[in-house]
Amino acid sequence: MLTMQKLATGVMVLGFAVVATRGLEAQTAPAAPPAAAAPAPPPGPGLAIINAKCSACHTTTSVFSQHRSPDDWAATVQLMVDRGADLSPDESSVVIGYLAENFPAEAKPVAK
């Protein structure tokens, strides 16, 4: 049988849990500000192919956030074709050219 003392103890424990939880909420880090939107990729026939064919498996943002050499873009596109991307050899060439021109490898600072 539940006595008044047990009931009061349970209410106190529940009250402490609520207070402790609220204290933890106050200690959490503030939310990060929203990231700035990435600029739109330049227009071109490669963009149309990427939007139509590459976005079936991953976001185009993930493609456009990369910066690679022409050889690395060629290897990446070939890897995607090997994994099932539906690109003809002509489409692959257009995509590689578009990516190499618009998303080249970033220049690394020269060490002195």
pLDDT of 26 > 60? The answer is: no
Domain positions in the chain are 45-102
pLDDT of 19 > 50? The answer is: no
Buried b (16+ CB within 10 A) or exposed e, 47-81: bebbeebbeeeeeeeebbeeebeeebbbebbeebb
**What is the pLDDT, as a whole number, of residue 30?**
60
pLDDT of 104 > 50? The answer is: yes
**Which comes out higher in pLDDT, residue 74 or 24?**
74
Which phi and psi angles does 104 have, rounded to 5°? -70, 165
Domain 45-102 falls under CATH 1.10.760.10: yes
The number of beta carbons lying within 10 Å of the beta carbon of residue 41 is 18
Instruction: Write the pLDDT tens digit of every residue in 30-68.
Output: 665 555 666 789 999 999 999 999 988 999 999 999 999
Residues with Cβ < 8 Å from 66, sequence gap 6 or more? 76, 99, 103
**What is the pLDDT, as a whole number, of residue 70?**
97
The number of beta carbons lying within 10 Å of the beta carbon of residue 27 is 6
pLDDT of 3 > 80? The answer is: no
